[in-house]
Amino acid sequence: MDEDQARARLTGERAEVEQTLHEAQAEAATWRDDEAGAETNDGADSAQTLTAEDMADAVTTRFRDRIAAIDRALQRLDNGTYGYSVRSGVPIPAERLDADPAAELTIEEARTRA
């Protein structure tokens, strides 16, 4: 994938993820407001609310992490290091970048990282 194509895909995905993040944050705020406004709660309702809040927090963390990964990829494009592993400097195969334009590692490096 050429740099212009990579930049277009990354900026497009960033906009989508950012929009989804804002929607998830608004939904989580609604849950918190609903819980704060409820006059009576039993244990089950509180547990459901906490679970929903925990899930919303996890989702927003994933979205923020993805935005950060995209921003790092855009920075690598600006620096001329896009398409190379941040660990080893080895070129990342085109198929991997096609599947994930924000990839920072080769598949082999990513496997050993996990």
For 55, the token pair is 């899930």
From first to last of the 114 residues of the chain, give the pLDDT tens digit: 899 999 999 999 999 999 999 998 888 777 666 655 554 555 555 555 557 677 778 889 999 999 999 999 999 999 999 999 999 999 999 999 999 999 999 999 999 975
State residue 42's pLDDT score.
52
What is the C-alpha radius of gyration for the chain, rounded to an integer number of angstroms? 19
Residue 114: per-residue pLDDT: 59
User: Residue 75: how many CA atoms within 13 Å on its side-chain side?
Assistant: 8
Interatomic CA distance for residues 36 and 18, integer angstroms: 27
| Domain coordinates in residue numbering, the chain | 3-84
Residue-wise pLDDT for 66-97, tens only, equals: 999 999 999 999 999 999 999 999 999 999 99
